[in-house]
Structure formats: structure tokens, C-alpha cells
Amino acid sequence: MIKHIRIDNRLIHGQVAATWKNNIGANAIIVCNDAVANDQIQKMVLPMAAQGSKVLVFTIDELIDYDKQNPNETKFVICKFASDCLRLLEKGIKADEINVGNQAPVQGTDYKMINGFVAATKEDAATYRKIAEYNGGSLYCQIIPTRPAEDVLDELNKAGL
């Protein structure tokens, strides 16, 4: 079962490896992004950042297959971009929780910071809204589990997105 999907363009880092994985109680951290999964250097380096945790790096389709083959494993999925998460949801993946973590601005895009750690364009805002539809109408962002969660849709509206 996918316990938690986190959208975080930093992928695996200290907050994820220590705080989030333990808070979720996951057996595995799975990075899910087609480009990352096809980059042999990232596939080699990402497990090093997870301090001994089981780390898998999959394309969207590989994750779907893995989830079907391992239904009883508690999985923590990290999507690099909101579009990765939406593709999973559109292909039938279910998750107990979806959280927007850090999304740094992409140079050359017309982005707005919706809070201290999430940059979004109009296209990103539309993607977040679609994710929220799949997620019972809500979506939250939270940098670490001990900090308060913020409603992504409220933050998008405040930013005019």
C-alpha cells in the first residue's frame, strides 16, 4: 500500500530520510520520476542519502507494477513534480496521504511563491487542483511533520493562481 506520496523536487534529503520516513512508518522510500529513473548516477546516489533505508527509483509505470506486486509493503513515494503524482493518480494509484513538500522555482517560468517553500505556475496550480480532486478535494503542504500543514488550494488562491 502507498501510505504517503510527497511531492518534493529535492527528492531524498535529511528531512525525508529521517523525519518523514520514520513518521510514516514506511518499509521503503520510492523515488518516482521517469527522468530520474533513467539517470544511472542519480539511481546510484539517491540511496546514499537515505542512511540505510530501502530506496527504489522507478519510472511511473515501474512503480505501478511494483505496487501491484507488493501490496502489503508500506511505501513512501517521493515524486519530483506534481505532474508525476497526477500521472500516478490518473493511472489508478491510491495513497493514504498526499503532501506537497519543497518545490523550488524553475528558472525561466512565471512562478509565484505560494508559501515559504512552494513555487507554482498557473500550470502547476491546475495540476495541484486535479490532484486534490483525486484526494477527496483537499491537498496540503508541510515541510516537516512537526510543523503545521497548510492548505495548498487556499495558498494558491491567495497567490492569485
The percentage of the chain sitting over the pLDDT mark of 90, rounded to a whole number, equals: 78
Q: What is the pLDDT of residue 60?
A: 97
pLDDT surpasses 80 at 87: yes
pTM: 0.94
Q: What is the pLDDT of residue 22?
A: 83
pLDDT surpasses 80 at 16: no
Instruction: Give the residue-averaged pLDDT of 112-136.
Output: 96
pLDDT surpasses 80 at 34: yes
Q: What is the pLDDT of residue 77?
A: 96
pLDDT surpasses 90 at 9: yes
Q: Give the residue numbers marked as catalytic.
A: 13
Among residues 44, 41, 39, 16, the alpha carbon closest in space to that of 29 is found at 16
Q: What is the pLDDT of residue 100?
A: 96
Contacts with 108 (C-beta within 8 Å, 6 or more apart), sequence order: none
